[in-house]
Amino acid sequence: MKKFILALILSVGFSQANAQVDVITKHSGEVVNGKVIRVEEYVVVFKYDGEDAENSIGKYAIEKVVYGKSGRVEEMTEKIVISGEADWEKVVILEEKSYIAGLKKGGEVRGKTGLINFQTGNTGDKKAQKKLKMDAAKLGCPFVLLTADKTTVGANSNALGGTQAIKTGVAYKY
């Protein structure tokens, strides 16, 4: 009987200790136990359970956070499902490296307009962006970290003097 009571006391003590831990659930299914320090616009800063070093995960990688102390659930982002190239419009272009924390690299992607492009700069930019997103969607990646965005004009672009928009990036998935 004494062993039973001792086991009960220990299990209640461990339950209460674990109740103080915040649980971060990522879209990949991975669960992170720790203490959320702060929630910023695009990043969640936390400490792993039992550690003092601060870490961060981009909100795009997080489904929800369950706060251990209060039990409150904070939904972060909806999961973006890319089934193929047809889902290119769902692809999100990111410009800050910190936003990809917690995501996995899928591959390099590129979008550019043709060599003979007599469109306005804005139209060429949109076409290059569409091609970039389509390239990422082919890889099944809902995110692209933009690494280069340039437009060449005149003789620098091609022999006919048109413009060419070129966007490059790295695709990421959950």
Rounded CA separation 103/120 (Å) = 35
**What CATH number does domain 20-75 carry, 2.30.30.100, 3.60.15.10, 3.50.50.60, 3.20.20.120?**
2.30.30.100
pLDDT of 157: 47
CATH architecture of 85-173: 2-Layer Sandwich (3.30)
DSSP state of 97: G
DSSP codes of every residue in 124-166: HHHHHHHHHHHHHHHTT-SEEEEEEEEEEEGGGT-TT--EEEE
Question: Which sequence spans correspond to the domains of the chain?
Answer: 20-75, 85-173
The predicted-structure confidence for 48-104, as pLDDT tens digits, reads as follows 999 999 999 999 999 999 999 999 999 999 999 999 999 999 999 999 999 999 999
